[in-house]
Amino acid sequence: SPVRDTIPSREDSAERERHQGRDSPVYVAANSDEEYDDLIRHLKDPSDTQVCTTLDHSTSSSLMTVEALAVDHQSKTSTPVILLLDTGAQRSFISQDAVARLNIKVSHITPLTTVTFGAVRTTEPSGMVDVDLVDNQGRKIRLILRTKEHLTVPCPPINFTAEDRQFLQSYNIRLESLTISRAVTPDILVGIDYFWDIVTSDYDPHPSFDQEEDSRILRQFQDTAIEIDGHLYVQFPWKSSHPRLADNKLLALKRLESQYRSFVTKPDLWRLYASTIDDYLDKGIIEEVDEHHFDNHRVYYIPHQAVIKESSTTTKLRVVFDASSHYKGAPSVSLLGLQWDVSKDLIRIPIRTLRKKVISKRTALKAFASTFDPLGILSPFLAPFKIFLQDMWIKSYQWDDPFEDADIARWKKLAEDLVHPIPSVPRCLIPSADSPVDYELCVFGDASKRLYASCVYLRCRSPSSTTTHLLMAKSLLGPRNPITMPRMELLATLISLRLVRFVHTQLRFNISAVHVFSDSQIVLHWIHSTRSLRTFVRNRIMEIRAIVDKFRDAHIPLRFYYVQSQYNPADCASRGIPTSHARHHIWWSGPSFLRLPSSRWPGSQDFATPPANDNEVQDEYQTLVLSNIPQYTSPFRFRSVSRYTRLVRSTVYALKFIAHLATKIKATLSSFEVTSFNLTKDISASEFAVAEALLIKEHYRECENILS
């Protein structure tokens, strides 16, 4: 953002300088060491009473106040509110007057102690409220605030000079969007917990090409979509920098001639073929165009061919268009996406991996990536291929090194398990019913020795029925160096919480509850345990608890459940299943008990109680050993002396006194600290250093148990 130099020049400062009397506050500025020395000398000299000071009221600081709209949850109306942005506050608050004006429901009223400037503590009843704010650009953010009787006194307005206003206008910054130009009483104090969410709400520190491309395609869809005779037409989302496509006319003509020659001996089929094309033309599926006049340079002739099915009683001949055909070496027309059955509103995700020839790491990775599955719906069927790729990396093949025969045979065996069709999934998961529907998220996690996975289901509850649908899934390979199964299960639970958090942020409707299922009693105990855990487990448990707290702060109940492995759909994603088992599998809708009332679900246990003794589990706990060591008290009273140098000097004199006594009684001392002292009154540098070393050693000895 633009920044203007607001430091006044020496000439401007000289015009504002004025002398103040002895009772006036003195503000002193020094620009060099010499000026600083002169100022100190003048202040110490009572005869020199004239001090040049600068009081500039025009540069007084102002608090950051902005205006936003608060949305009423019930009436959906918006009310203007004043926000005070305070980076010095740890939490955000809302005044009781604003709560009453916005008609917000207050919950969880508890005593709240606040510490303000000067360490002043005040305690008062405070509740929690949810507030949806909308700024002047339509951006929305939800705040979870604490209520407080009064926030602060009215904030004075900012007096912009003509030069300030001109500077803002030169950068098209509207004054009303920057701050408030009148004295106002803040309704909401935004602390550091939400400050950066508001300040950077429209700023992406890492903008990606995909986000820019998505925005461009969405704008193109909105700009080019038109309705003609009840049908919606939209242009293809062409890439802006794609190579020029060949018209493909010669290839399409050769295909048609070949089709005609194949039907020379079958005139009935040729007539049926021609009538099908005429039917497409009559129904408006295709239209006749003038090949010499086109609206733009994109011209492409699509070859077509007949597919005959003698056993069919309705459609024996279908015309199939080959839009991916192209000249050898020329680019093809490719449309990335998922196949959509418009009549049934189903999405089909084809597995293209089995069609690829694999002979090296490069071709294997290319074949695996050819299946477009952004939601992880095919995770159970692609899991064995992930393990295969990791094994090839472990074998240290180079990119184009040919695989051994055993590895090629293994790939072919995996590809054979993908030949069966995969069931299509419904595009729309929200039931269209007049009765109110309650939405919940159910997430499952599981792990094997090589993979850990998670899957999220949307549970739709209405008075008449309950349905569940797979929303999204994710599977990840475990580390190359094997870790224990409890740790793998912990990673599965962690990505379960991450995944359900991501899904919740993407949904545009309210979620009433979140249910987390795991078949690992050990992990569930770790989450609810208060015992000290080792670093690997502790760090991941802390992240899990942080996500849980975020849901509960948003008043979304989150509960953990233990589920047996046979009822855990994530089990197949962590181990893999062939496509022959795909139909009617638990993967698509989750276990059947999700369609029952939650009171009939598998009973929750006391997860705070540890499971049966297991060496792997016990190894994760940190053992705290308490030693009964007598407390050592040093003869030197460190806390009784206010200055360090005084402590060292007194130690030197004490050691000199001990050395003097030893001389009087003719005793032999073995302590180096005492024997190195002479009997004079003066303190040498070496004696000072010896005393310092002795004090440090004594202080460490006295506090060594505390430090450990």
Q: Give 333-398 as a 3 state SS string.
A: CCCCCCEEECCCCEEECCCCHHHCCCCCHHHHHHHHHCCCCCCCCCHHHHHHHHHHHHHHHHCCCC
| Res. 336: pLDDT tops 70 | no
The whole-angstrom separation of Cα 493 and Cα 444 is 8
Q: What pLDDT is stored for residue 212 in this prediction?
A: 66
Same structural domain for residues 168 and 302? no
Element (H, E) at 99: helix 96-102
Same structural domain for residues 602 and 483? yes
Same structural domain for residues 337 and 474? no
The contacts found for 103-109 with CB under 8 angstroms, 24 or more apart, are 103/72, 103/74, 103/75, 104/73, 104/129, 104/130, 104/131, 105/73, 105/129, 106/147, 107/555
Q: Establish if 514 belongs to a structural domain.
A: yes
Q: Which residues contact 357 (CB under 8 A, 6 or more apart)?
A: 363, 367
| Res. 498: pLDDT tops 90 | yes
Same structural domain for residues 605 and 655? no
Q: Establish if 630 belongs to a structural domain.
A: no
pLDDT digits (tens, 9 = 90+) for 631-682: 677 787 777 777 888 888 888 888 888 887 877 877 776 666 666 677 777 8
Helix axes 535-553, 521-528, angle to 10 degrees: 70
Q: Establish if 310 belongs to a structural domain.
A: yes
Same structural domain for residues 476 and 607? yes
Lowest mean pLDDT segment, chosen from 330-344, 381-395, 433-447, 686-700 = 330-344
Q: What pLDDT is stored for residue 497 in this prediction?
A: 95
The whole-angstrom separation of Cα 135 and Cα 118 is 34
List alpha helices for 461-560, DSSP H.
485-506, 521-528, 535-553
Q: What is the mean pLDDT of residues 676-699?
A: 82
Q: What pLDDT is stored for residue 304 in this prediction?
A: 86
Identify which of 49-53, 353-357, 496-500, 652-656 has the greatest average pLDDT.
496-500
- Domain extent for 660: 638-707
Lowest mean pLDDT segment, chosen from 15-29, 99-113, 661-675 = 15-29
Domain boundary pick from 319, 339, 369:
369
Q: Establish if 142 belongs to a structural domain.
A: yes
Lowest mean pLDDT segment, chosen from 85-94, 178-187, 356-365, 455-464 = 178-187
Q: Establish if 681 belongs to a structural domain.
A: yes
Q: What share of the chain is helix, strand, coil (3-state, %, to 5)?
A: 35, 20, 45
Identify which of 308-312, 477-481, 493-497 has the greatest average pLDDT.
493-497
Same structural domain for residues 552 and 676? no
Element (H, E) at 143: strand 140-148
**How many other C-beta atoms lie within 10 A of the C-beta of residue 371?**
19
What does residue 85 show for φ and ψ, rounded to 5 degrees? -85, 115
Nearest CA to 697 out of 657, 638, 654 is that of 638
Same structural domain for residues 546 and 451? yes
Q: For residue 562, what is the domain's CATH number?
A: 3.30.420
Helix axes 379-394, 361-369, angle to 10 degrees: 160
Q: Establish if 523 belongs to a structural domain.
A: yes
Count of structural domains, the chain = 6
The answer to whether the CB of 52 falls within 8 A of the CB of 93 is: no
| Res. 606: pLDDT tops 70 | no
- The encoded tokens of residue 211 equal 């986000």
Q: What is the mean pLDDT of residues 184-193?
A: 87
| Res. 54: pLDDT tops 50 | no
Same structural domain for residues 129 and 223? no
Q: What is the mean pLDDT of residues 488-494?
A: 95
Q: What pLDDT is stored for residue 73 in this prediction?
A: 63
The residue among 675 and 528 whose pLDDT is bigger is 528
- Counting residues of the chain whose pLDDT is more than 90, the rounded percentage is 17
Q: What is the mean pLDDT of residues 191-220?
A: 66
Q: What pLDDT is stored for residue 179 in this prediction?
A: 52
Same structural domain for residues 603 and 644? no
| Res. 200: pLDDT tops 50 | yes
Domain boundary pick from 618, 647, 682:
618
Per-residue pLDDT band at 181 (split at 50, 70, 90) = low
The whole-angstrom separation of Cα 272 and Cα 277 is 9
The whole-angstrom separation of Cα 425 and Cα 420 is 16
Q: Establish if 355 belongs to a structural domain.
A: yes
Q: What pLDDT is stored for residue 31 in this prediction?
A: 44
Burial class (CB in 10 A: 0-12, 13-18, 19+), 496: buried
Q: What is the mean pLDDT of residues 681-707?
A: 79
pLDDT digits (tens, 9 = 90+) for 215-262: 777 788 888 888 887 878 887 776 666 666 777 888 888 888 888 888
Q: What pLDDT is stored for residue 242 in this prediction?
A: 63
DSSP one-letter code for 306:
E
> What is the residue-averaged pLDDT of the chain?
77
The answer to whether the CB of 128 falls within 8 A of the CB of 146 is: yes
Same structural domain for residues 90 and 228? no
- Counting residues of the chain whose pLDDT is more than 70, the rounded percentage is 75
What is the secondary structure of 656-681 as a DSSP string?
Answer: HHHHHHHHHTT-----HHHHT--SSS
Nearest CA to 581 out of 698, 447, 417, 372 is that of 417
Q: Establish if 603 belongs to a structural domain.
A: yes
List alpha helices for 209-248, DSSP H.
209-224
pLDDT digits (tens, 9 = 90+) for 369-393: 888 888 999 999 999 999 999 999 9
The whole-angstrom separation of Cα 696 and Cα 708 is 17
The whole-angstrom separation of Cα 346 and Cα 647 is 83
The whole-angstrom separation of Cα 327 and Cα 249 is 10
| Res. 620: pLDDT tops 80 | no
Domain boundary pick from 587, 618, 649:
618
Q: What pLDDT is stored for residue 9 in this prediction?
A: 41
The identity of residue 622, as a single letter, is Q
Same structural domain for residues 562 and 534? yes
Lowest mean pLDDT segment, chosen from 83-92, 192-201, 521-530 = 192-201
228-237 CB burial, b ≥16 within 10 A, e <16:
eeeeeeeeeb
| Res. 207: pLDDT tops 60 | no
The answer to whether the CB of 54 falls within 8 A of the CB of 27 is: yes
| Res. 535: pLDDT tops 80 | yes
Q: What pLDDT is stored for residue 131 in this prediction?
A: 86
Nearest CA to 390 out of 479, 474, 489, 454 is that of 479
pLDDT digits (tens, 9 = 90+) for 431-482: 665 566 889 999 999 999 999 999 999 999 888 888 899 999 999 999 988 8
The residue among 624 and 455 whose pLDDT is bigger is 455
- The encoded tokens of residue 464 equal 């008449």
The residue among 590 and 433 whose pLDDT is bigger is 590
Q: What pLDDT is stored for residue 572 in this prediction?
A: 92
Nearest CA to 464 out of 487, 438, 486, 488 is that of 438
Same structural domain for residues 487 and 595? yes
